[in-house]
C-alpha cells in the first residue's frame, strides 16, 4: 500500500466517525498509539527463543497482527 492510499484510507476513517463519538476515540487512539510502540518489545523474547514451535509462531503472528491493528487505530493520536 502506497503512502498516498494509506493517507486516503486514514482520511476516510476519520470522516466516518461522528463528532459526538470523538471524545470517546481520543483515549482509545492514545492507548492504541502507545500499544503500537510497546508491542515490538515483546517480539524480542520470542525471536531470541526461536520460532521453532507452532505455539511460538502463533504468538509471534498474533503480536504482529495486534501491532498492525494498534497502528491503524492509533495513527491519528495527537499527544496533547
| CA angle centred on 79, ends 73 and 80, rounded to 5° | 125
CB-facing half-sphere around the CA of 7: CA atoms within 13 A: 3
The residue assigned the cell 509462531 is: 57
Number of domains in the chain: 1
Residue numbers of the domain that contains 49: 3-74
Asked whether residue 80 is domain-assigned, the answer is: no
Q: What is the pLDDT of residue 17?
A: 65
Residue-wise pLDDT tens digits, 3-52 = 677 677 767 766 766 665 667 788 888 899 999 999 999 999 999 999 89
Phi, psi (degrees; rounded to nearest 5) at 30: -65, -45
**Residue 33: CB partners within 8 Å, gap ≥ 6?**
70, 74, 75, 77
Amino acid at each position: 500500500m502506497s503512502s498516498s492510499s494509506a493517507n486516503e484510507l486514514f482520511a476516510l476513517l476519520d470522516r466516518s466517525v461522528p463528532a459526538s463519538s470523538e471524545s470517546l476515540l481520543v483515549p482509545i487512539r492514545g492507548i492504541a498509539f502507545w500499544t503500537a510502540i510497546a508491542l515490538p518489545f515483546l517480539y524480542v523474547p520470542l525471536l531470541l527463543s526461536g520460532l521453532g514451535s507452532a505455539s511460538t509462531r502463533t504468538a509471534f503472528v498474533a503480536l504482529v497482527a495486534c501491532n498492525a491493528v494498534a497502528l491503524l487505530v492509533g495513527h491519528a493520536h495527537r499527544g496533547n
